[in-house]
């Protein structure tokens, strides 16, 4: 205990140095914590908009559909839907049918992907549909009203309310044509999608394709993504349907998952560099203070203290610096996180469009989320690093030869 | 991407084989049906010259065409030499092309069959919808005089047609179409088809020349029949992928 | 005089100097390394789009790049190509003709993009010849060979040696169709390209499309792709008036945006790392100033002006910065070069990422760019001066008598 008090007093003997060291420590901890929280928030935001606009946190496909997109791999979900909807962990089940076809207006024709959706459910989840005003939403599953990508609308030289004909080959091999009217216009920000997307009610799409009641995918939006119990329950549910496969979002949207991994890896690398620089700063401070006090240490050693005591003293000093740095840094890190959670970084001042990342478009307001466990973890790393930083200075201090030091 | 299967260009001439009237009353759907679809169930054989003019090129093709009913159709290029023997077969909704140079048959994927194709001024709509005209439209007589009729065809509410309306100008004697105009939903005229050089073939009067004109471009396609005969006994095997390769 | 003193002062407390230097060195070295990694990533991304397909720069008639209409072609002049090749900035120039149509094999028909190339010249511009998964890259500009993208080959179930039919409408409106012999299959990792692109010989495609002696574009490979925009007016001057030059920034605006925004993040990253390192310098110099109070007192007493004392301390920090910069850059460049060859394969953890029109391969590979050395160096010296300023001011404000007394 005396040693602790001694260490504490030693540190404050040179206030300025200690403060500067603490500032460097706190600054780095704050930076690392805040940017981790921010990117966790942004990643979560991307994943959330990705799964909501795309294929859900989890998706049920027929085996092989994900890679081949073979239209024949559809299935009848009617036996499955009530059970899925009953699961408490499931927020929404979005059945969808995807059909390749041709859209024609009186001027032009374009290849399209006709997507049959359950309008009511989808309007609550899909960010692009949520952005549409209420009177532009698809009314039901059977109407002839359709939502078109904005580029497609332009290329077909259509206007809202205008009609177009969709032609496709149904499952029986016949060419089927059907009239639709532009009801709403969707802008996803992704060029390929905006020039090929046509959304209609699922019943009509299934009738058109000659596969009434069938779907290609069931996108599951979960209340708490990645809950193992829910996943296990889903697997049990699907076990009866031998041909169906449960796919996680990071497989269904591999590009997004990889983009996030890549981004986070480079961020971790930068964290590592920052921590290294800070550690060197701590070594520097401790070593300087050892050199400064060589006379004093010489005296202590001459009085019969063992070098181990000096070692302990220095480790205690490092521990104190680290802990105070951890406290201060976490305080500032929390403040920064609090700001980033409450206010976020609004990029709309700088860019007028959405942000695209890994094939996902999301709102340009970056918001952090709290990750207290990680904040604590990084703080503890810093304390450990500080203690490690004391190794060399302690070694030097222990090797001070009393006589030489006193002469100094 | 625009793919130019000759298939449709050739197929389109099928339409030419249809408008042949005999009896007429002022039952408008019946009249239009007469004009558009009289050849249901019958067969034909014809030699056709097709001249296409676009902003970049113009060319002329000699074609030999056989048809049976609405759904079977075979066309073979006679000239120019470079494309001699290229043939197109349509059975129901499927289209194949035969390419003699490489001795291969290509099935046109469904997604590639629609639309206005590069080079031609014809659309899939013309081909597939021609035989459903009286199912998809309601008709109204706008004018009637000694020469003939002007009939407006309005698409039924849910009919799969891209047009806002069609205008048929039909000649009374002989009963043949003179002009079909295609309008978009804002009633802007988009395309015209002119018919002329009406000749009597057997018992029927047929306009041997047909000009398709998209109005927003300086382009056109002209089809001209040099020979045509009807109601021949054609073997069903003529309209098969196998016979496509023969010749 | 001040220089000698500054050097001597730094030398006097070697350990402290070295320690402070080490913090700065690590910052500089790792900064250079991480900038090198980012540059490598962007270079790979750009390369995926340019070296696998577009080239760094493309010459065509103005309408062609937007609409890709068959008719927007121009005569192929070998003299023009040779003239371009003579320029020092240009590593390669390749003529190309492009046609869209149906590719068919054994009852399977797919839409495809055929790129007519001269293999010898194409290899100077794109690296598709090094991306074959099967077969060989042809050496001749003639013949009916075809190299298929992996996805397209899979859809057609085609392997090297198989025959394909290509079917399209030629420039004179006639039906173009001919047999092709698959000699190779390439995989770029880009989904769209692998699923629709096929390479054929320029002569063959010219004949098929009835565009004898004509091409759609000349693709160029540049020595320094990042300065492509600057080269545009120079190249334009060498061309007939009906042709236009497109640098990759104009062909791939999304990618240009991403790379431009990277300049901002590069700056932020640098400031953060230097802020942490700068605090260390500040600390060291305060220490050294406080330690030398007596010495400064003497200097003041023998008539040195306070401004000279300040300059002395500033000079010391500048010197420290320069030494660290030298050593740090050395280490940084060394590490960058170490990772610039094959790099580290990351495909066990991630697969390639498609982003902004390019593909980032799963490989950690650095790229040495002069820009990544200059700016960090300059800013480091500034940071050192800044960190030296407070201690320097303090040193210059010492009162000789008090200082000598050793307060």
Per DSSP (E only), the strands in chain B are 43-53, 58-68, 72-79, 87-91, 94-99, 104-107, 137-144, 148-155, 165-171, 176-183, 189-201, 204-214, 220-230
Look at A106 and B184 and tell me if their CB atoms are within 8 Å: yes
Looking at residue B39, its pLDDT comes to 43
Higher-scoring residue by pLDDT: A404, B217:
B217
pTM of the model: 0.75
Tens digit of each residue's pLDDT (9 = 90 or more) over A23-63: 888 888 888 898 889 888 888 888 888 888 888 888 999 98
Give just the sign of the alpha carbon dihedral A44, A47, A51, A53: positive
Arithmetic mean of pLDDT, B48-71? 84
Token pair in block for residue A274? 């920052």
CB–CB contacts below 8 A, A to B? 70
Statement to judge: residues A199 and A62 lie in one domain = yes
Q: Which residues lie across from C59 on neighbouring strands?
A: C218, C245
CB spacing of B83 vs C175 below 8 angstroms: yes
A273 neighbourhood in chain C, CB within 8 Å = 26-27, 30-31, 34, 273
CA-CA distance, A395 to B221, in Å (whole number)? Answer: 95
**pLDDT band (50, 70, 90) for residue A203:** very high
Indicate the number of domains in chain A: 2
| Model pLDDT, residue B247 | 59
Residues making up chain A, counted from first to last: 408
Which of A188, A214, A249 is a domain's end point? A249
pLDDT above 70 covers what percent of chain B?
75
Does A282 lie in the same domain as A218? no
Tell me, yes or no, whether A334 and A395 share the same domain: yes
- Same-domain status, A223 and A274: no
Contact between B124 and A178 using a beta-carbon 8 Å cutoff: no
| pLDDT at residue A355 in the model | 64
Confidence (pLDDT) at B5: 39
Domains of chain B as residue ranges with CATH: 19-245 (2.50.20.10)
Instruction: Please tell me the predicted confidence (pLDDT) of residue C35.
Output: 85
C-alpha dihedral sign at C153, C156, C160, C163: negative
pLDDT for B124 equals 47
Q: Does the pLDDT value for residue C224 go beyond 50? A: yes
Q: Which of B110, B133, B156, B192 has the highest number of chain A CBs within 10 A, making it the mutation to test binding with A?
A: B110
The full DSSP string for C32-90 is HHHHHHHHHHHHHHHHHHIIIII-SEEEE-TTHHHH--TT--EE--HHHHHHHHHSTTE
Q: Which residues of A touch C15 (CB under 8 A)?
A: 287, 291
Model pLDDT, residue B16? 42
Return mean pLDDT, chain C.
85
With a cut of 60, say whether residue C52 has pLDDT above it. yes
The shortest C-alpha distance from A69 to chain B (Å) reads: 15
Residues 6+ apart with CB under 8 A from A30: A329, A330, A332, A333, A336
Within this chain, do residues A168 and A233 fall inside the same structural domain, yes or no? yes
Contact A154, A170 (CB under 8 A): no
Cβ atoms of residues A21 and A281 within 8 Å: yes
Pair (A306, A220) in one structural domain? no
Residues A327 and A220 in one domain: no
In whole numbers, what is the pLDDT of chain A averaged over residues?
A: 84
Mode of pairing for the β-strands spanning C108-117 and C90-105: antiparallel
Residue B17's pLDDT band (cuts 50, 70, 90): very low
User: In terms of DSSP H, where are the helices of A54-108?
Assistant: 65-68, 81-86
Q: How, if at all, do strands A197-201 and A109-117 pair?
A: parallel
The pLDDT of residue B111 is 59
Whether residue A145 is found in the same domain as residue A46 = no
Give the pLDDT band of residue C216 (cuts 50, 70, 90): very high
- pLDDT at residue B245, rounded to an integer: 78
- What integer pLDDT is reported at residue B8 of this predicted model? 41
Closest-CA residue of chain C to B85: C175
Please give the residue range of the domain that contains residue A183: 56-249
Mean pLDDT calculated for residue range B37-48: 69
C56 pLDDT above the threshold of 60: yes
- CA A109 to CA A129: how far, in whole Å? 25
pLDDT in tens, A172-201: 877 788 999 999 999 887 777 888 899 999
CB B204 within 8 A of CB B20: yes
Chain A residues whose beta carbon lies within 8 Å of the beta carbon of residue C30: 273, 276-277
Summarize the confidence of residues B230-246 as an average pLDDT: 82
Question: Quick one: A78 and A96 in the same domain?
Answer: yes
Question: Which residue is associated with the tokens 């029109």?
Answer: C357
Q: Round to whole Å and give the CA distance between C34 and C28.
A: 10
Same domain, yes or no: A42 and A95:
no
Instruction: Report pLDDT for B29.
Output: 81
Query: In the predicted model, is pLDDT for residue C103 greater than 80?
Result: yes
Of A233, A249, A265, the last residue of a domain is A249
Phi/psi for B192 (5° steps) reads -130, 145
Other beta carbons less than 10 A from residue A143's beta carbon = 16
First to last CA, chain B: 32
Query: What tokens were used for C257?
Result: 């945006």
**Region C166-190: what's the mean pLDDT?**
87
Same domain, A350 and A372: yes
A130 and A239 together in one domain: yes
Pick from C309, C293, C313, C289: nearest CA to C405: C293
Looking at A249, A281, A299, which one is the last position of a domain? A249
**DSSP assignment, residue B114?**
S
């Amino acid at each position: 205990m005396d040693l602790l008090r001694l260490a504490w007093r030693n540190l404050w003997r040179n206030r300025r140095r200690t403060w500067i060291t603490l500032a460097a420590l706190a600054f780095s901890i704050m930076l690392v914590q805040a940017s981790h929280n921010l990117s966790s928030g942004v990643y979560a935001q991307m994943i959330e908009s990705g799964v909501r606009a795309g294929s859900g946190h989890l998706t049920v496909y027929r085996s092989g559909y994900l890679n081949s997109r073979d239209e024949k791999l559809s299935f009848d979900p009617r036996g499955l839907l009530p059970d899925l909807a009953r699961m408490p962990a499931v927020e929404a089940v979005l059945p969808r049918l995807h059909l390749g076809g041709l859209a024609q207006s009186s001027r032009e024709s374009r290849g399209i992907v006709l997507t049959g959706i359950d309008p009511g459910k989808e309007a609550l989840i899909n960010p692009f549909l949520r952005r549409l005003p209420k009177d532009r939403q698809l009314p039901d599953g059977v109407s002839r009203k359709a939502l078109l990508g904005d580029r497609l609308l332009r290329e077909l030289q259509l206007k809202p309310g205008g009609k177009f004909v969709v032609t496709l080959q149904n499952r029986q091999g016949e060419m089927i044509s059907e009239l639709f009217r532009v009801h709403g216009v969707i802008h996803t920000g992704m060029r390929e999608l905006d020039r090929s997307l046509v959304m209609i009610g699922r019943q009509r799409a299934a009738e058109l394709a000659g596969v009434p009641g069938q779907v290609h995918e069931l996108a599951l939006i979960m209340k708490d993504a990645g809950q193992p119990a829910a996943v296990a329950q889903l697997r049990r549910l699907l076990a009866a349907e031998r041909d169906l496969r449960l796919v996680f979002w990071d497989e269904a949207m591999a590009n997004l998952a990889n983009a996030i991994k890549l981004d986070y890896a480079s961020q971790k690398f930068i964290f590592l560099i920052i921590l290294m620089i800070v550690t060197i700063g701590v070594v520097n401070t401790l070593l300087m203070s050892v050199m400064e006090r060589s006379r004093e240490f010489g005296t202590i050693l001459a009085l019969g203290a063992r070098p181990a005591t000096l070692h302990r003293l220095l480790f205690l000093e490092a521990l104190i610096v680290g802990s105070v740095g951890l406290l201060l840094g976490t305080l500032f890190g929390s403040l920064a996180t609090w700001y980033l959670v409450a206010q976020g970084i609004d990029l709309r001042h700088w860019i007028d469009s959405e942000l695209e990342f890994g094939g996902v478009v999301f709102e340009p307001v970056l918001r952090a989320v709290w990750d207290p466990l990680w904040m604590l973890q990084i703080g503890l790393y810093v304390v450990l690093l500080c203690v490690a930083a004391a190794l060399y200075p302690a070694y030097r201090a222990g090797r001070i030869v009393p006589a030489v030091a006193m002469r100094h | 991407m625009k793919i130019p299967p000759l298939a449709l260009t050739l197929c389109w001439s099928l339409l030419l084989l249809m408008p042949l009237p005999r009896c007429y009353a002022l039952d408008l759907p019946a009249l239009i049906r007469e004009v558009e679809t009289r050849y249901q169930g019958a067969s034909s054989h014809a030699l056709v010259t097709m001249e296409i003019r676009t902003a970049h090129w113009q060319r002329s093709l000699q074609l030999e065409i056989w048809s049976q009913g609405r759904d079977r159709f075979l066309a073979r290029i006679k000239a120019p030499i470079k494309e001699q023997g290229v043939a197109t077969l349509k059975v129901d909704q499927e289209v194949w092309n035969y390419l003699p140079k490489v001795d291969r048959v290509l099935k046109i994927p469904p997604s590639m069959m629609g639309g206005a194709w590069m080079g031609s001024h014809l659309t899939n709509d013309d081909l597939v919808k021609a035989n459903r005209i009286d199912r998809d439209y309601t008709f109204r007589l706008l004018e009637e005089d000694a020469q003939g009729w002007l009939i407006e065809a309005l698409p039924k509410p849910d009919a799969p047609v891209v047009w806002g309306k069609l205008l048929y100008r039909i000649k009374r004697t002989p009963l043949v179409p003179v002009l079909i105009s295609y309008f978009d939903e804002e009633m802007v005229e988009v395309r015209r088809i002119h018919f002329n050089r009406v000749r009597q073939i057997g018992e029927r009067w047929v306009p041997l020349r047909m000009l398709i004109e998209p109005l927003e471009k300086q382009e056109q396609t002209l089809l001209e029949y040099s020979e045509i005969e009807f109601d021949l006994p054609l073997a069903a095997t003529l309209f098969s992928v196998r016979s496509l390769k023969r010749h | 005089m001040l220089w000698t003193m500054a050097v001597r002062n730094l030398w006097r407390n070697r350990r402290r100097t070295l320690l402070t230097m080490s913090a700065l060195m690590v910052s500089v070295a790792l900064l250079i390394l991480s900038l090198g990694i980012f540059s490598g990533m962007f270079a790979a991304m750009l390369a995926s789009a340019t070296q696998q397909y577009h080239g760094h720069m493309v010459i065509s008639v103005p309408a062609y790049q937007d609409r890709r209409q068959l008719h927007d072609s121009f005569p192929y002049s070998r003299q023009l190509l040779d003239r371009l090749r003579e320029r020092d900035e240009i590593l390669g120039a390749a003529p190309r003709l492009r046609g869209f149509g149906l590719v068919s094999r054994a009852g399977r028909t797919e839409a495809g993009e055929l790129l007519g190339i001269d293999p010898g010249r194409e290899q100077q511009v794109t690296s598709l010849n090094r991306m074959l998964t099967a077969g060989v890259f042809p050496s001749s500009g003639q013949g009916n060979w075809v190299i298929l993208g992996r996805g397209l080959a899979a859809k057609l179930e085609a392997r090297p040696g198989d025959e394909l039919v290509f079917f399209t409408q030629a420039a004179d409106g006639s039906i173009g169709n001919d047999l092709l012999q698959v000699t190779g299959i390439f995989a770029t990792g880009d989904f769209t390209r692998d699923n629709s692109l096929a390479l054929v010989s320029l002569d063959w495609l010219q004949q098929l499309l009835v565009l004898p002696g004509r091409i759609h574009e000349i693709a160029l490979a540049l020595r320094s792709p990042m300065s492509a925009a600057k080269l545009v007016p120079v190249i334009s001057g060498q061309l007939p008036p009906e042709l236009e030059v497109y640098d990759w920034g104009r062909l791939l605006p999304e990618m240009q945006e991403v790379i431009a925004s990277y300049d901002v993040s590069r700056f932020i990253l640098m400031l953060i790392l230097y802020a942490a390192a700068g605090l260390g310098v500040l600390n060291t110099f305060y220490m050294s100033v406080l330690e030398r109070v007596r010495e400064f007192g003497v200097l003041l007493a023998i008539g040195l002006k306070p401004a000279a004392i300040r300059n002395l301390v500033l000079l010391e920090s500048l010197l420290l910065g320069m030494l660290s910069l030298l050593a740090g850059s050395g280490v940084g460049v060394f590490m960058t070069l170490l990772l610039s060859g094959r790099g580290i394969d990351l495909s066990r953890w991630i697969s390639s990422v498609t982003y902004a029109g390019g593909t980032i391969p799963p490989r950690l590979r650095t790229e040495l760019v002069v820009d990544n050395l200059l700016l960090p160096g300059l800013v480091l010296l500034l940071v050192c001066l800044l960190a030296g300023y407070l201690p320097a001011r303090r040193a210059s404000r010492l009162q000789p008598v008090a200082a000598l007394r050793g307060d």
